[in-house]
Amino acid sequence: MKWLKRIGLAALVFLALIQLVPYGRGREVHDSTVEPAWDSPRTRELAVRACFDCHSNRTQWPWYAWVAPMSWLVQHDVDEGREHLDFTRFDQRQRNASECADQLRSDEMPLWQYVLLHPDARLDDKEREELASGFERTFGGD
């Protein structure tokens, strides 16, 4: 039983120490908020609900996004999401915008782990098709 207490204490010390690793602490937000010319308010509404946390500068950081090691995973997903497509940086070329509809229809987006932790981002089949069609009208297709 003594070894179990030592392992527990070591785990707590480890978790406390990794909080000092600075990855993601800055939560960089760019000043640009140039959105695309949405085809409809509904397309934007669905995109905000299912996409904006990872693909915009309007990320709503949940409590666990401040606690390592989850903060590292969340920051990585947001960094990668913004790198591929940022709905608030349409003052710059967004190479992957035309792929949005295909990503939705093939269930590649939103990421399953995101939907698991954000049930309100879950799209039913009708909403998924509605958003995919709205993306095609907004960005064009491949």
| 3 domain-assigned | no
| 2 domain-assigned | no
| 24 domain-assigned | no
| 56 domain-assigned | yes
Number of domains making up the chain: 1
User: What secondary structure does DSSP assign to 92-129, as a single string?
Assistant: S--TTGGGHHHHHHTT-SS-HHHHHH-GGG---HHHHH
| 27 domain-assigned | no
pLDDT digits (tens, 9 = 90+) for 35-92: 999 999 999 999 999 999 999 988 888 888 888 888 888 889 998 999 999 999 998 8
**Which domain does 85 fall in, by range?**
32-139
pLDDT digits (tens, 9 = 90+) for 15-40: 777 787 776 655 666 666 889 999 99
Please give the model's pTM, rounded to 2 decimal places. Answer: 0.81
Q: Which pLDDT value is given to residue 45?
A: 97
| 109 domain-assigned | yes
pLDDT at residue 125 tops 60: yes
| 14 domain-assigned | no
| 4 domain-assigned | no
Q: Which pLDDT value is given to residue 26?
A: 52
142 vs 140: CA distance, rounded Å: 7
